[in-house]
């Protein structure tokens, strides 16, 4: 496949976990990918690993201007887009009464504000693709009403509702919008929030990436809305 035939994706949060595996898989499938994150070194490593089909773009999505700057970069490099994967996310675990305002701000700005603005900005870029689509990453946490992650869960619930409504709005433009909501996945997020977890109950990040790729291969007549991913039931466990 030559460069002009490759599909073009923008994947946020590509320096780690689900986003990194998604970038790897898309490149392996012949896509060209712009991947983002704050960690310059990891972006360089991915560039070395994946070659010229991967373009790293360092951005802190909690900064107000970052979504616009990132979209301009994508437009400059690719002209248009076939896929936007809004995967970057952060969490905070603890008693609500202890949650610092800056952590509330970080969750709202990264998990929700930047996702909304990137969806908005991507519309003109996705319109020129025959199969333009957005995959937003939600979470089963949105449905569990678990304590100590109320703000995280609320951002993900908002992502899911926003995505359902946007799917209707963008349907006449032939742009799909779906949400993939994983259950606990084996990534760095647990270290980042200081939670010790039994990794045996988690699903591997490369498997979530396979589901994200699957979303790009749906028949033309089908959408899933929100796809909840659970760990496969294992008798005796
Ligand atoms: N792991 C799970 O159990 C699980 C379950 C359900 C849903 N999810 C969702 O899946 C998505 C990916 O999470 P993950 O589990 O793969 O976590 P992860 O390994 O911690 O990766 C998070 C990614 O988001 C990026 N990121 C975080 N804050 C950012 C910021 N301010 N600006 C730009 N990028 C930022 C990180 O990049 P830098 O550090 O380089 O900035 C990293 O690439 C998230 O939306 C998460 O909520 C995860």
- How many Å lie between the centroid of ligand 1 and the Cα of residue 114? 13
C-alpha 224/C-alpha 201 separation (Å) is 25
Mutate to test the pocket of ligand 1, among 70, 88, 194 (most ligand atoms within 8 A of CB): 88
C-alpha 35/C-alpha 210 separation (Å) is 17
Residues flanking ligand 1, CB < 6 Å: 13-19, 37-39, 59-62, 87-90, 110, 137, 139, 182, 184-185, 187-189, 192
Task: Report residue 5's pLDDT band, with 50, 70 and 90 as the boundaries.
Answer: confident
Q: Is the per-residue pLDDT at 227 higher than 80?
A: yes
Q: E strands of 50-175, at which residues? A: 54-58, 83-86, 133-137
- pLDDT value at residue 47: 98
CATH architecture label of 3-229: 3-Layer(aba) Sandwich (3.40)
First to last CA, the chain: 44
CB atoms within 10 A of CB 206: 15
- pLDDT value at residue 236: 73
- pLDDT value at residue 164: 98
pTM for this entry: 0.98
Task: Report residue 205's pLDDT band, with 50, 70 and 90 as the boundaries.
Answer: very high
């Amino acid at each position: 496949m030559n460069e002009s035939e490759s599909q073009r994706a923008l994947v946020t949060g590509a320096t780690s976990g689900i986003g990194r595996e998604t970038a790897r898989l898309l490149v392996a499938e012949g896509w060209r990918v712009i991947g983002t994150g704050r960690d310059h070194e990891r972006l360089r490593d991915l560039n070395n690993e994946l070659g010229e089909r991967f373009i790293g773009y360092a951005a802190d999505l909690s900064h107000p201007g970052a979504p616009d700057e990132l979209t301009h970069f994508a437009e400059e490099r690719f002209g248009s887009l076939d896929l936007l994967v809004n995967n970057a996310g952060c969490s905070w675990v603890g008693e609500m009464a202890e949650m610092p305002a800056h952590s509330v701000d970080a969750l709202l700005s990264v998990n929700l504000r930047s996702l909304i603005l990137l969806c908005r900005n991507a519309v003109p870029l996705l319109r020129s693709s025959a199969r333009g689509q957005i995959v937003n990453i939600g979470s089963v946490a949105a449905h569990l009403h678990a304590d100590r992650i109320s703000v995280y869960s609320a951002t993900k619930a908002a992502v899911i509702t926003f995505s359902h409504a946007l799917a209707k709005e963008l349907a006449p433009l032939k742009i799909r919008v779906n949400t993939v909501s994983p259950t606990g996945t084996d990534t760095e997020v647990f270290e980042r929030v200081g939670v010790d977890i039994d990794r045996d109950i988690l699903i591997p990040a490369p498997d979530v990436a396979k589901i994200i790729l699957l979303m790009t291969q749906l028949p033309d007549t089908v959408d899933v809305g929100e796809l909840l991913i659970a760990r496969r039931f294992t008798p005796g466990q």
